[in-house]
Amino acid sequence: MKVGKFLAGICLSLCVLAPSFAGATTFYDLQSKKGWSGYALLPPSWGICSSCTSTGSRLKWSWTPNVSSPSMDSKSTKSYYGGGTTQWGDVLWNNHLVGSFSSVGLPDYSHTLTASLHNFTYDVYFWVSKASVSQALEFDINQFTGGKSFIWGHECRIAGGHQWDTYDNINKKWVPTGVSCYPISGAWNHLIIQVQRTSGNRLLFKSITLNGKTATLNIYRYPTSTSWHGVTINYQIDGNRYGTPYSVYLDKVKFAMW
């Protein structure tokens, strides 16, 4: 069975074969769909806190879909960082699109779909009332195939310096790009991230477009190792040194892969 026919048969309303990219599959309005799991990331390691709950004292958070205002289509999602007793805490939301635990019906048991994918676009609108209280906003594309882990991490440091960083998989650190990042407060911001897994199995950070202004990156990095297979996306909001509560609304979240 051809991959395109297979996808068209099971994606239903969640995705379409996009005519703009030959053979591409595009998922629409992911912010209002199922599959998002939230986690607290606490210093000093910023690993997932397995004992934390969304209403716990160390860090509070929530995810509320189908919000009518602010919204572009009455289907926005409110992501909330509620502060707590931990300074510099972060909240991560993750959605499995391809592979085990797929939220869109693409378990890819044979791993052939995951292995065939090389290009990805993460397209999202976000609204924050006072952007300056956010330490950073993060949007990641993750692919795991052929024993390799490809993490295209993109972080807009706001309180941290108004610059885009990208993630270095090998050295597990954020690297400044020199590209400024100034989201507009009290308005919808439009972000488009484009990346590629090259034919030589390297990560290529291609470009970041924020509010119509495109920065071409062309940054190449190397992957690490893994035994998992699949494609996931992350969204993360980081707290400042005071743990100031704030909300970010997401709308029209679109993800294309081909």
SS3 at position 137 = strand
Does residue 31 lie in a domain region?
Answer: no
Does residue 28 lie in a domain region?
Answer: no
d(CA 179, CA 150): 22
Does residue 14 lie in a domain region?
Answer: no
Q: What CATH number is given to the structural domain containing 111?
A: 2.60.120
d(CA 182, CA 251): 19
Does residue 16 lie in a domain region?
Answer: no
SS3 at position 32 = helix
Does residue 113 lie in a domain region?
Answer: yes
d(CA 217, CA 166): 10
* DSSP letter assigned to residue 201: S
- Say what the pTM is: 0.91
Does residue 42 lie in a domain region?
Answer: yes
Give the contacts of 90 (CB within 8 A, at least 6 positions apart). 40, 41, 42, 46, 135, 236, 237, 238, 239
Number of Cβ within a 10 Å radius of residue 4: 14
d(CA 54, CA 150): 28
From first to last of the 258 residues of the chain, give the pLDDT tens digit: 333 433 444 454 455 444 345 578 999 999 999 999 999 999 999 899 999 999 999 999 999 999 999 999 999 999 999 999 999 999 999 999 999 999 999 999 999 999 999 999 999 999 999 999 999 999 999 999 999 999 999 999 999 899 999 999 999 999 999 999 999 999 999 999 999 999 999 999 999 999 999 999 999 999 999 999 999 999 999 999 999 999 999 999 999 999
Whether the ω angle into residue 65 lies within 30 degrees of 0, i.e. cis, is no
> The tokens of 37 are what?
């799991």
Host domain of residue 187:
38-245
Q: Cα 215 to chain center, whole Å?
A: 18
Closest to 208 in 3D by CA, of 246, 128, 152, 136 = 152
Number of domains the chain contains: 1
Does residue 29 lie in a domain region?
Answer: no
Does residue 116 lie in a domain region?
Answer: yes
